[in-house]
Structure 1
Amino acid sequence: MNFVAMDFETANREKHSAVSIALAVVRDNQVVDKFYSLIKPETTFSSYNTAIHGLHRQDVADAPKFPEVWQTISPFFTENKLVVAHNASFDNGILKGTLQYYDIDEPHYLLLDTVQTSRKLFPNFENHKLSTVAGNLGITLDHHHNALDDAVAAANILIYESNHFGVEVLKPYVKNK
């Protein structure tokens, strides 16, 4: 399988409040490249969100704003390219909300949610949180809520599922966005 896994961390509940993004690029079922960037959001920071991921306003003070980051990562979000996330409704919502906030055209790509695939393929897991699925599958997740570690874990979950169940089992979960 070839795809890119993404993960965002946010400053607050607003859909345009991304403070970091990471991508894990997969070619032939191997993570071959990684991208991570802090993002300077144009919004306030919630103490709740900061407690989850540990990023403060001062951490992103010199970071690029999203349009600069988008120039680098937009080639991964094109027609017929598969984008994966664990809880894709959240990460895809942040991407869409941030694109709308900056009046950037929304791309069309294929989207797959590893929460959905793990619920189908591993119904007996206690829950289907990223840390639980990764732990049950023996996938390393050193720093949960670090966007890069989370993106790599999501990539490795899909690689595991593809290797053990086949790509055909996963196809019904691919949505066109």
Structure 2
Amino acid sequence: MDFIAMDYETANRKRASACSVALVVVRDNQVIDSFYSLINPETEFDRQNIRIHGITPEMVADAPNFATMWPHIQSFFSVQQIVAAHNSPFDVSVLKHSLQRYGVKVPHYQVIDTVKTSRKFFPNLPNHRLDTVSVALEIPLPHHHHALADAYACAEILVTETQQFGEGRIRPFMKLTT
């Protein structure tokens, strides 16, 4: 299966406050590349968000804003591309609102939520949070809430599910973003 896994961290509760992004590229069920960047959200940080992901305003002061960073990753988002995220409504919303904030056209792409797939394929787990599913599938997650670590874990979850259950059972979970 070919796809990218994405993950965002935000500075506050607003979806247009992305402060980091990670993409992990998977081809033929193998991770072949990754991208990570801090993002200057050009807005305030909430203490709760800093506590969760550890990113501070000082760390992003010299980072590009989302509009400057977007040209480096926009080619990953097309109708032909499958994009996976763990709790995809959050990550899709962060991408959409961040682009809208800067007046950039929001792309359409196929998305698959590994929370939904893990609920289907592993219904007996106590919950389907990223860290719980990672432990159950023996997938390393060395720094939960670091966008790159989370994107790698999401990628490995989908690869594991594809290998165990087949791509045909994964495809019904894909939908086109709007």
Task: Report the TM-score when normalising by structure 1.
Answer: 0.99
For 1:53, the equivalent position in structure 2 comes to: 53
Tell me which amino acid in the other structure corresponds to 2:58.
Q
Tell me which amino acid in the other structure corresponds to 1:70.
W
Q: Distance in 2 between matches of 1:97 and 1:115?
A: 21
For 1:29, the equivalent position in structure 2 comes to: 29
For 2:158, the equivalent position in structure 1 comes to: 158
Tell me which amino acid in the other structure corresponds to 1:173.
F
5+ residue gaps, structure 2, are none
Q: Distance in 2 between matches of 1:166 and 1:69?
A: 35
Q: CA RMSD in A?
A: 0.5
* Runs of at least 4 residues off by over 2 Å: none
Q: Distance in 1 between matches of 2:6 and 2:115?
A: 13
For 1:174, the equivalent position in structure 2 comes to: 174
Q: Distance in 1 between matches of 2:155 and 2:68?
A: 25
Q: Distance in 1 between matches of 2:148 and 2:68?
A: 18
Q: Percent identity?
A: 53
Give secondary structure in 1 for the equivalent of 2:73.
helix
Listed one character per residue, the Cα deviations across residues 26-65 of structure 1 (whole Å, up to 9, x for unaligned) are: 0000010010000000211000000000000000000001
Give secondary structure in 2 for the equivalent of 1:162.
helix
Listed one character per residue, the Cα deviations across residues 145-175 of structure 1 (whole Å, up to 9, x for unaligned) are: 0000000000000000000000111111100
Shift of 1:69: 1.2
For 2:79, the equivalent position in structure 1 comes to: 79
Task: Report the TM-score when normalising by structure 2.
Answer: 0.99
